[in-house]
Structure 1
């Protein structure tokens, strides 16, 4: 391509012009909407971005066509509507359709003109469309660039996405290509980009660079360095002897085997998990964090647990904050398989905080059982990481009243079915009780009982702790209707067994369901409800993220909004710390706004300075 054309397409703040831009314009010319075509060819997410990007490409190519002397430059981007009825049939088809073989040419032409008189406007539209497409083909041949990995991202992506990527240090296409090649949840370090947007980014990059692939960094965990043994839902990672070549098998004190039976770092991890993990989820979390540290010590520091010092703790915290690419698994890799690494993606602040808390507890336990000499380096490290600056305190993960009503309207509009009745029960019961998803799927009817004339429920909850919760009238009504739909009769009936599940399968009203079935059921109903609602785009996006745990957040938010005392909500939820319950206190936030508006707000709530009523005495003074 001429250098003058290349310079013109890369200047002026407009994205560089590639083959995909012309595919977009041809699709629009053929009748595809601007939004749909931009989503397909330009990697655009939102409608307003699609219109802006389309306008930029049209203006840029019109300018180029004018400089090259094309009089038809106005046709670029012009919507030329043609109808299928505009086109007249082929003369041979007309003869065959009317069975006119043997007629003279003059007679056939006369009949043809009578049946299909020429439409001058339609002919003109067809000619304009042909000129438009011909001009696009010509400009594509002289102006379309072939993207290169070394090109800047802001030349090929829309400004909003390019700005987000540049803030994370991704300036070139190859930078993004290498990040995607890492696999796993590679997008976690990118602000305002989730799994769906990440997939669109990857698809758009593949459109730009179809014949080029970045080489993923080598994985230090392949080739027999470690092996895996799958145990239930968790994964036990056992370091092979090659991992410890040149070092003693046990760095603990000689008598450690008497207390724990463990003589290696890998064995002490299993002993700790067996002794301290109260559930399979906790065991999985403990084992994961301990073996991540073990692998880091082995590969990066050539140390073991007993040799770890304060500087190593600090270095590991810095390592967790900025994970190297080779420590992140490729997408869809199996544990210890090709492309596997200990991390699925960059860690959030909360995940890093949880890791160092778990490790501090682990080292304290190793000191207590005598595996380590009485020194816990984590006790000398400031493990407080503060809050995640990217986490919104207004994001409660609770259904808004509008989304909740949309969900209920969708359910009531559906014909009666076992699935609908079960979902109605789930919504009403958990909104009124605040049960965790695990508590709901594990509950039985025998856990409900009367206490002084009211119904309560004993729950075996988080941390294997028992608690008793209130079962309000809304929950009881929902349960009665659900039991009737299951054909089990009233709760106090003689035919109801205490062992029957609170939440049952559709095929068997006496068999429990698992969390995955609950999750899939809720996601399906939420998608249907949101698709048919009149919620705004941002509200839809938030509601579509909902999971069963959102029902618990909805209970906490609604209870505090309706003036339930904080200590009552705290006890119902089973929170040990009232600060955890305060996360749901949006009503208190609104009261805070109202009270301070009365104290300091001369303007109406939400008004900008200078827009509302005039400020009172003293306004503007320091």
Structure 2
């Protein structure tokens, strides 16, 4: 029997499955926590103590409360908050027979005994009946939400749907992109994990626990300790057919001739600074190199920059293999030019809704033709990739250096893209008139934060309650300056703190309550500041930049309609506005109100003071007034 290993860090994403619902139902009905843990949550590790049960039931409750609140069912959210489990000390009422014997009622009839019993314990019985009624309603609510939220584990699921990014990537590197492929590998040998980089006995044991916990949908694993023979593969689980070759790279089987192992522009392997032996490994090394230093809590999570870079590299690598039939390390200038034109007019089968996850069959690399600006960005990312590969000795040259990006009208910083005080007044009036929903509360909190701080949209969607803290900053001989600060991660992984007001934190507390969470950010857990408003989404679910951008654009369109008749120019500006306009607004207002430019620079996260200085428009305003005065006086 193999030696017991210490448990690794959690390998699973926080996703609810059927076991979570069954466990919560059992606990609220007073069943044994240890037995229910072992029955329903074996994939969560060994049962430890009551604290683990408390954390798990708290996690499940928060997810269900948030889902109910997002759907506008605030009464149901409150119901799910109630702890209706029987008291640990029992506290049960005596039986009718015990009551009769204790009070000398043996000579009374049963109906008389029952009447006296009910009268004696009236208050306790009322509490018990109310608890029973609430418990029945709570169980019905849990069953109802299970039908909406429960995600069954299936063989066709990508490993990234259930495992944390680092583990899913290591499995993908080994060709195990789906749970079906992983199951087949585990069925074939008890030592399936030993050849895999970064997966030791601890992680292998945790993966096995997960697979066994979902054997009803994934199929059983052999009991190697009982002497089961390795599977030859003849009975491997059937995997869903891949209906398109356009799949994420970690699920694409690349022909040997196109892997880049012998690419036309490969530099000698002995002088290469990377361990990569093919193009996909080289891309992963480049993405990994973009990761900033991080804490153990955030280890393995790709940053926004890494996700953007992966998207562009993935598109190009897929185009090379599927459309151009060329290894990435073999492309020349002509190939790169064709790809640029391809992005501006991709075929329909390359396009699909952005909402489809990477592990789903309907995923596609593009949403539609790229704008000139987006195409230029894609080419700049690929230029960065090839520069990296050249500098590390993987390639001998960079063909992207000779490819002209599409012309972009109005390139550069446009500091005039800001909302005036009058337009902001319209925004506030329309916002106050919206119906109170979870999406509206999110909009109020987010717009307030963007206008106060000028943080970027990417920084907003990555911000969490765990990075909001109350600080007392020493300034001798004066008293400490106390207040709320939010830590954000900006471009290049640069971390900075921005001050926020008490009023905004109070508004955030109201929003957290609507999500079914504690109003105290410190007690809500490390969750996204702005969460999903989709029905059935867990409380810990964040929101993508694209989803929030679209909500803001719809809102500004609504504001613009208020001005169409009276101020068409203002309406046009509102229709053009975006979240980035609020960044410009915050910076411009701070400077106009006398904030020192170096203070605004630090708050905005500008690397160069010259960037912040471009927002100073006092001199331009004086010049405009002077010149208008010259001509209007004649």
TM bucket normalised to smaller: 0.3 to 0.5
- Indicate the structure (1 or 2) with the bigger Cα radius of gyration: 1
TM-score (norm 1): 0.46
